C-alpha cells in the first residue's frame, strides 16, 4: 500500500467530513492532532468484542477538548472512519514530521504520584535506559551536529545567523536526574558540555556523586532558583519523566517548568518526555514562551498499546 499524497489525503478528509456525525463510546480515547485536524483513537465498544475493539483512528472531529475524554468509558461524537480509510490515514500520519503530529492523552489515571526508591533499582529504569534516554541523546546530538531538517523524527531550528552554535561551554541541566545515568552517557558522548542535575531523593544524589558527577543538587526541582546561583543559565534543560502525570501534579509541573524557563539561555532548548503521559500540550508550551519544534514520535503513535513505545517527546526553544 503506497502513501497518500497530500492531495489524496485532503480528498479523503473531505469525504469523511461529509458524513453525519456518529456517537461512539469506549474504554479510553486519545487525540491525534495534525494541523487543524483532530482524530480520535481508542478502544471502542463492540458487540463482538467483550473488552472493546482497539482502533487507531475512530473518528475525525471538528473540535474536541481533552477534558471531554477524561476518565474511562467516555462518549464522543464525530465523523466515522472505516477500517480501510484508517489504514491509509495511519500510514500518512506516521510518515509526517515530529513537528506536525501531536498525541494528546486525556487524564485517566488519578493514582497518587510515584514515590521513587533509588531510581536505577526500579522496574521503570529499564524503560528509561533502553527506550527513552537513547532518544533524548539523539535529539541533543542532532542539534549539536546540525543534521538535516528532513531527518525523520527531528526538526532542529537554526539561529538567526543560520547556524546552530557548537559552544564548548554549553550547560545542560537534568531535572529529576535520578542516579545520573543519562548525564553519565551524555558526558561520554558530549564531553565538552558542563552537566548539572537536581533530584529530590538522597539515595539518587549519592549514586550520582559516586559516578563523579560534581554538579548534582539535592532538592525539589521547583526550587531551582535556590539550588543554583542566580546568574547561572542553561542551554539545555531535560525533563525525563519529571513533568509526567504519575510523578508530579499538574500545578507543580507548571511551577517547575515556568521556573526552569527563566533559567534557560537565549535560544536554549527544553526536552520533555517520559514513561507516562505528559501534563502539557504544544499549545501550553507555546503560551509559556517556547517555540515548539517537536511534539511526538509519529511512527510510534499507532503501534500496539499492549507494548511500550515512546510516543510523546516535546522539544521547545526559548523564543525570547
Question: Which pLDDT value is given to residue 114?
Answer: 65
Residues 180 and 129 in one domain: yes
Alpha carbon distance 238, 243 (integer Å):
10
Alpha carbon distance 225, 302 (integer Å):
40
Question: Which pLDDT value is given to residue 150?
Answer: 40
Residues 90 and 123 in one domain: no
- Is residue 102 one of the residues assigned to a domain? no
Question: Which pLDDT value is given to residue 49?
Answer: 82
Question: Which pLDDT value is given to residue 210?
Answer: 95
Answer yes or no: pTM beyond 0.85.
yes
Give the cell for residue 59: 473518528
Q: What is the per-residue burial (b if ≥16 Cβ within 10 Å, else e) of 12-44?
A: bbeebeeeeeeebebbbbbbbbbeebbbbbbbb
Residues 191 and 255 in one domain: yes
Question: Which pLDDT value is given to residue 112?
Answer: 64
For the chain, what is the domain count? 2
Residues 11 and 135 in one domain: no
Residues 44 and 135 in one domain: no
Domain residues for 67? 6-95
- Is residue 175 one of the residues assigned to a domain? yes
Final residue in a domain of this structure, among 79, 95, 111: 95
- Is residue 106 one of the residues assigned to a domain? no
- E-assigned strand segments in 97-167: 101-104
- Is residue 207 one of the residues assigned to a domain? yes
- Is residue 297 one of the residues assigned to a domain? yes
- Is residue 275 one of the residues assigned to a domain? yes
Residues 13 and 140 in one domain: no
165: CB partners within 8 A, 6+ apart: 159
Residues 144 and 90 in one domain: no
Question: Which pLDDT value is given to residue 63?
Answer: 85
Residues 15 and 80 in one domain: yes
Residues 207 and 76 in one domain: no
Each residue's pLDDT expressed in tens, for the chain with a length of 320 residues: 568 999 999 999 999 999 999 999 999 999 999 999 999 999 999 888 888 899 999 999 988 889 889 888 899 999 999 999 999 999 999 999 999 999 999 988 765 666 667 999 998 999 999 999 999 999 999 999 863 344 444 444 433 333 334 445 899 999 999 999 999 999 999 999 999 999 999 999 999 999 999 899 999 999 999 999 999 999 999 999 999 988 899 999 999 999 999 999 999 999 999 999 999 999 999 999 999 999 999 999 999 988 899 999 999 999 87
Residues 129 and 35 in one domain: no
Which residues does residue 217 pair with via DSSP β-bridges, in sequence order?
Answer: 198
Alpha carbon distance 67, 105 (integer Å):
10
Final residue in a domain of this structure, among 34, 60, 95: 95
Residues 146 and 287 in one domain: yes
Question: Which pLDDT value is given to residue 117?
Answer: 78
- Is residue 109 one of the residues assigned to a domain? no
Nearest to 314, CA basis, from 210, 239, 221, 233: 239
CATH number at residue 125: 3.40.50.150
Which residues does residue 237 pair with via DSSP β-bridges, in sequence order?
Answer: 173, 270
- The answer to whether 111 and 246 are in contact (CB under 8 A) is yes
Residues 10 and 133 in one domain: no
- Is residue 218 one of the residues assigned to a domain? yes
Amino acid at each position: 500500500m503506497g502513501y497518500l499524497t497530500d492531495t489524496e489525503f485532503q480528498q479523503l478528509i473531505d469525504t469523511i467530513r461529509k458524513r453525519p456525525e456518529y456517537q461512539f463510546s469506549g474504554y479510553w480515547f486519545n487525540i491525534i492532532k495534525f494541523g487543524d485536524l483532530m482524530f480520535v483513537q481508542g478502544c471502542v465498544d463492540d458487540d463482538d468484542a467483550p473488552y472493546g475493539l482497539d482502533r487507531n483512528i475512530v473518528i475525525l472531529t471538528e473540535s474536541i477538548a481533552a477534558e471531554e475524554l477524561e476518565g474511562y468509558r467516555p462518549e464522543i461524537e464525530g465523523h466515522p472512519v472505516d477500517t480501510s480509510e484508517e489504514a491509509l490515514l495511519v500510514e500518512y500520519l506516521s510518515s509526517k514530521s515530529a513537528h506536525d503530529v501531536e498525541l494528546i492523552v486525556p487524564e485517566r489515571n488519578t493514582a497518587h504520584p510515584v514515590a521513587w526508591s533509588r531510581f536505577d533499582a526500579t522496574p521503570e529504569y529499564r524503560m528509561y535506559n533502553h527506550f527513552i534516554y537513547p532518544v533524548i541523546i539523539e535529539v541533543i546530538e542532532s542539534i549539536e551536529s546540525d543534521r538535516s531538517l528532513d531527518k525523520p523524527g527531528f526538526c532542529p531550528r537554526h539561529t538567526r545567523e543560520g547556524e546552530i552554535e557548537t559552544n564548548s561551554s554549553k550547560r545542560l541541566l537534568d531535572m529529576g536526574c535520578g542516579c545520573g545515568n543519562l548525564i553519565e552517557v551524555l558526558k561520554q558522548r558530549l564531553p565538552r558540555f558542563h552537566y548539572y542535575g537536581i533530584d529530590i531523593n538522597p539515595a539518587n544524589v549519592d549514586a550520582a556523586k559516586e559516578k563523579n558527577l560534581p554538579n548534582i543538587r539535592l532538592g525539589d526541582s521547583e526550587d531551582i532558583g535556590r539550588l543554583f546561583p542566580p546568574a547561572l543559565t542553561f542551554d539545555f534543560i531535560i525533563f525525563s519523566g519529571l513533568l509526567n502525570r504519575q510523578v508530579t501534579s499538574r500545578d507543580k509541573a507548571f511551577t517547575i517548568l515556568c521556573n526552569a524557563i527563566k533559567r534557560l539561555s537565549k535560544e536554549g532548548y527544553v526536552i520533555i518526555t517520559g514513561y507516562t503521559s505528559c501534563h502539557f500540550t504544544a499549545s501550553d508550551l507555546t503560551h509559556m514562551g517556547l517555540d515548539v519544534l517537536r511534539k511526538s514520535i509519529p511512527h510510534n503513535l499507532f503501534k500496539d498499546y499492549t507494548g511500550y513505545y515512546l510516543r510523546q517527546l516535546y522539544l521547545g526553544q526559548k523564543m525570547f
